[in-house]
Amino acid sequence: MGLGRALSKMGFCSRSEAFALIRSGRVRLNGVLTKNPEAAVRLRKDAIEVDRTPVHSAVKVYWMMNKPRSLVTTAHDEQGRETVYAQLPKGLPWMSPVGRLDRASEGLLLFTNDSEWAARILAPESHLDKTYHVQIGTVAQDKLLRSLERGVTVEDGELLRAKRVRRVREGEKNSWIEVVLHQGRNRQIRRMLQQLGIETLRLIRVSIGPLKLGDLAKGAAREVTATEKAEIDGALRAVSLQQTRLNHTGNSQ
């Protein structure tokens, strides 16, 4: 694999940060300085140094955060806005967010330095359900809930739909609904509601597959437990097995 990807895979930094380090002349491969992020690397065989310090594969870590509003899901923001990294404890290995929540959104956000695990969660074929609680600026009528499930054609012509929608609670002028996405697109819920003329007041992700936000305080972060990690891995395996069966059935017809 390329040198930039290797540094990311080893849990040293993100791939974009690795490319920047390499191009700035701070990385050596088998003792030779290289500025080529695509230089071929054999993991566990070749020696990589950053600023003449050997790089070793980091211990894999898995964390979850209850992201508050107004934070940007990135390591560095060009506009100087506060990022989700400000909420993580000091002294942790480098970790990358698994997917994103936009600045106005809240709730469950995963972090890890296990790039392969993150890729499995984000892969379109994984289809881990993601559940959101959404406060909308109107009373949720049955017609609205069914429209979200049937699908909404948004401004660019893309048809977006929710897997399940139900009413959680409502007041006189607004409601909370639960929206489950099978395969989320960028700002999918907001775009669907906007197309229907509905204002999104708050949007909170409460679960990813079997992993639930629970009572984790807003702005707090904690390590994913071994049991929670095993449950996620089990869900990923189940989806993969189901997909394999569907492909086999389709190919045999």
User: Quick one: DSSP state of residue 151?
Assistant: -
- Tell me the CA distances in angstroms from 98 to 123, 198, 253, one per residue in order: 11, 29, 37
Please, where in the chain does CATH 3.30.2350.10 lie? 130-208
pLDDT of residue 123: 84
* Tokens coding 37: 């992020």
| Positions of E strands within the chain | 27-29, 32-33, 48-50, 53-54, 62-67, 96-98, 106-112, 130-136, 152-153, 159-160, 164-170, 175-181, 200-208, 211-212, 221-223
Q: What is the DSSP string of 166-189?
A: EEEEE-SS-EEEEEEESSPPTTHH
Q: What is the pTM of this model?
A: 0.83
Please, where in the chain does CATH 3.10.290.10 lie? 3-54
Please, where in the chain does CATH 3.30.70.580 lie? 62-125+212-241
- Interatomic CA distance for residues 125 and 128, integer angstroms: 9
Query: Please, are residues 48 and 41 in contact by the beta-carbon 8 Å criterion?
Result: yes
Residues 62-125+212-241, CATH architecture: 2-Layer Sandwich (3.30)
User: What does the pLDDT profile of the chain (253 residues) look like in tens digits?
Assistant: 899 989 988 888 888 889 999 999 999 999 999 999 999 999 889 999 999 999 988 889 999 999 999 999 988 788 889 999 999 999 888 899 998 899 999 999 999 999 889 988 988 777 789 999 999 999 999 999 999 999 999 988 889 999 999 999 988 899 999 999 987 788 999 999 999 999 999 999 999 999 999 999 999 999 999 999 999 999 999 887 776 666 666 665 5
Q: What is the CATH number of domain 3-54?
A: 3.10.290.10
Active site residue ranges:
102
Q: Domain 130-208: which topology?
A: Pseudouridine synthase (3.30.2350)
